[in-house]
C-alpha cells in the first residue's frame, strides 16, 4: 500500500499494514467488524486534514471512508453521509440561501469528521447545526442515532474525540435556517472585513466570500499553489484557563512584555477564559517562517500552522511543535495542546 503521506494534507506518514476503502454504510460497518473480529488495530481516515501520522506508518488497517449521499428536505433539514467532502456541502447550502455553515467555509475534510472535534471557525461551530449523529458503536456492535445534545460538544472536542476509536460516524443530520441571511456575526475580524458591526447579519454568500478571503490570506484554504497550506490547520488549540491561571498568565506577560501589555481574553459561558495560542507563540519568540524552509517550518502567513515545505518528516514536525510548546511554557507558564490527532505515536 502507498504511504499515508499521500492521504494527509501534511503529506506526512508511513505506510499502513492494510488499506481498505468503504463507499457506503454497510461496507463501513462490515470493514470495522472484520478488523475488530481479527483484533486488528483500526484507523478511520477521511480527508486526512487533522492527523499527524508517524513516519513508521500505522501497524493495522486504515479504513478510508468515501461514502456519498445528501438527503435534503428542502426546508433546511439535511442528512449527509460521512464521506461527503465538507466544503462543497457548505457551498451548496450557501447557494440555496441556508444559514448555519457560512462561517465554516473553506475547512477541508469530510462531513463525518466534523462532529469529532466540533469543527469551528469565525465564531461558528458545527455543533450549533447538528441534530443527530448516526454512528457505529464498536463497544456494543450496534448502530445508534445520537442526538446532537448528547454528543458532549465543547470547544474543538466531543464525546467522539474524548473516547478515541469507539464510534465510527456514518452520517450526520443537520438543521439549517432558510432565508438567505447569516447568523449574527460573532467574530470581530470577520465583521470588519464585511464592513459590519459584531451582531449584524449579512447575506450568507457575502459571509462565505469574506471567510474564504480571510482564510486564504492565512494559508488556511487547501491550495496546491500555496505551500503554506501543506498543514493540518491550526496545530494548537487556544488555551482555556480558569481565573487563577489567567491571572498568572497576565503577571508573566507583564514581566516579560511590560506593564501595558494586553493578553487576548475571550470570556467563556462557563466562567473560564480562552486566550490566543498564536499570540502566546509569537510573544514567546517564534515568528512566521521559523524552522527549516526546506522541511518543517511555521507557516509564513500564520503562526499557528506548522507546514511541510517538502522534505519534512513527522519526527521533525513533532520536534518543532515540542520546541514551541516548551518555549510558551517557559515564557508564560501555559501548556499548549495539539489540535490534530496523533496516529502511531503520542504527543
Ligand atoms: C488548511 C487547514 C485548515 C483547517 N481549518 C480548520 C478550522 O478552521 N476549524 C477546524 O475545526 N478545523 C480545521 N482544520 C482541521 C480539519 O480540516 C478538520 O478537523 C476536519 O473536520 C477533518 O476532516 P478529515 O475528513 O480530514 O478528518 P481526518 O483527518 O481524516 O480524521 C481526523 C480524525 O477524525 C477521525 N475520523 C474521521 N472521519 C471519521 C468518521 N467518519 N468516524 C469516526 N472518526 C472519524 C479520524 O480517525 C481522526 O481521528 C483545518 C485543516 C487544514 C489542513
Phi, psi at 31, each rounded to 5°: -65, -40
Q: How many whole angstroms separate alpha carbon 80 and alpha carbon 281?
A: 37
Active site includes 322?
Answer: no
pLDDT (tens digit per residue) in 254-278: 999 999 999 999 999 899 999 999 9
CA–centroid distance, 147 to ligand 1, in Å, is 21
Question: Which residue in 110, 19, 15, 13 sits closest to 52, CA to CA?
Answer: 13
Active site includes 157?
Answer: no
* pTM greater than 0.85: yes
Protein residue with least CA distance to atom 51, ligand 1:
233
If one counts every other C-beta atom within 10 angstroms of the C-beta of residue 71, the result is 11
What is the radius of gyration, based on Cα positions, of the chain? 20
Cβ 219 vs Cβ 231: under 8 Å? yes
Report strand pairing: 273-274 vs 266-267.
antiparallel
Ligand 1 binding pocket includes 108 (Cβ within 6 Å): yes
Ligand 1 binding pocket includes 238 (Cβ within 6 Å): no
Phi, psi at 268, each rounded to 5°: -105, 155
pLDDT (tens digit per residue) in 214-235: 999 999 999 999 999 999 999 9
Question: Which residue in 344, 292, 302, 300 sits closest to 323, CA to CA?
Answer: 292
**Three-class SS of residue 194?**
helix
pLDDT of residue 343: 95
Q: What is the dihedral of CA 13, 162, 232, 60, to 10 degrees?
A: 20
CA angle, 308 then 313 then 318, to 5°:
90
Ligand 1 binding pocket includes 229 (Cβ within 6 Å): yes
Phi, psi at 294, each rounded to 5°: -100, -10
CA–centroid distance, 51 to ligand 1, in Å, is 7
Active site includes 156?
Answer: yes
Query: Which residues of the chain are under the pLDDT cut of 70?
Result: 1
Which residues, 6 or more positions from 205, have their beta carbon under 8 angstroms from its beta carbon?
94, 95
CA–centroid distance, 162 to ligand 1, in Å, is 15
pLDDT of residue 21: 97
pLDDT of residue 1: 60
Protein residue with least CA distance to atom 14, ligand 1:
233
Phi, psi at 3, each rounded to 5°: -70, 150
Active-site annotation holder among 64, 134, 156, 309: 156
CA–centroid distance, 259 to ligand 1, in Å, is 40
pLDDT of residue 309: 98
pLDDT of residue 2: 74
Beta strands in 239-317 (DSSP E): 240-241, 266-267, 273-274, 296-298, 306-308
Protein residue with least CA distance to atom 11, ligand 1:
119
Question: Which residue in 315, 339, 321 sits closest to 13, CA to CA?
Answer: 315
SS (H, E, C) 121-144: ECCEEHHHCEEEEEEEECCCCEEE
pLDDT (tens digit per residue) in 151-194: 999 999 999 999 999 999 999 999 999 999 999 999 999 999 99
CA–centroid distance, 335 to ligand 1, in Å, is 23
Which atom of ligand 1 lies closest to the CA of 45? Answer: 30
**Three-class SS of residue 331?**
helix
Q: Which helix (H) or strand (E) holds 322?
A: helix 314-332
Amino acid at each position: 500500500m502507498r504511504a499515508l503521506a499521500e492521504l494527509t494534507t501534511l503529506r506526512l506518514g508511513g505506510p499502513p499494514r492494510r488499506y481498505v476503502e468503504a463507499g457506503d454504510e454497510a461496507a463501513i460497518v462490515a470493514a470495522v467488524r472484520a478488523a475488530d473480529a481479527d483484533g486488528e488495530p483500526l484507523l478511520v481516515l477521511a480527508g486526512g486534514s487533522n492527523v499527524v501520522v508517524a513516519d513508521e506508518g500505522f501497524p493495522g488497517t486504515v479504513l478510508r471512508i468515501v461514502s456519498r449521499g445528501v438527503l435534503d428536505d428542502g426546508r433546511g433539514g439535511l442528512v449527509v453521509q460521512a464521506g461527503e467532502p465538507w466544503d462543497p456541502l457548505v457551498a451548496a447550502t450557501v447557494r440555496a440561501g441556508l444559514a448555519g455553515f457560512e462561517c465554516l467555509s473553506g475547512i477541508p475534510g469530510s462531513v463525518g469528521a466534523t462532529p469529532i472535534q466540533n469543527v469551528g471557525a469565525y465564531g461558528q461551530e458545527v455543533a450549533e447545526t447538528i441534530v443527530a449523529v448516526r454512528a457505529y458503536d464498536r463497544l456494543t456492535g450496534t448502530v445508534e442515532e445520537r442526538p446532537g445534545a448528547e454528543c458532549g460538544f465543547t470547544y474543538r472536542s466531543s464525546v467522539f474525540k474524548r473516547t478515541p476509536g469507539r464510534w465510527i460516524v456514518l452520517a450526520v443530520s443537520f438543521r439549517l435556517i432558510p432565508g438567505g441571511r447569516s447568523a449574527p456575526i460573532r467574530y470581530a475580524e470577520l465583521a470588519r472585513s464585511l464592513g459590519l458591526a459584531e451582531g449584524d447579519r449579512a447575506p450568507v454568500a457575502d459571509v462565505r466570500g469574506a471567510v474564504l478571503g480571510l482564510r486564504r490570506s492565512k494559508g488556511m484554504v487547501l491550495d496546491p499553489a500555496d505551500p503554506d497550506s501543506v498543514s493540518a490547520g491550526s496545530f494548537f488549540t487556544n488555551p482555556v484557563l480558569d481565573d487563577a491561571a489567567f491571572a498568572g498568565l497576565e503577571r508573566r506577560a507583564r514581566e516579560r512584555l511590560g506593564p501595558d501589555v494586553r493578553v487576548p481574553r475571550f470570556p467563556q459561558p462557563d466562567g473560564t477564559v480562552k486566550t490566543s495560542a498564536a499570540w502566546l507563540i509569537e510573544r514567546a519568540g517564534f515568528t512566521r517562517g521559523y524552522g527549516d524552509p526546506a522541511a518543517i517550518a511555521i507557516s509564513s502567513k500564520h503562526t499557528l500552522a506548522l507546514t511541510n515545505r517538502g522534505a519534512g518528516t513527522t519526527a521533525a514536525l513533532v520536534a518543532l511543535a515540542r520546541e514551541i510548546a516548551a518555549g510558551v511554557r517557559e515564557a508564560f507558564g501555559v501548556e499548549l495542546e495539539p489540535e490534530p490527532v496523533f496516529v502511531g505515536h503520542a504527543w
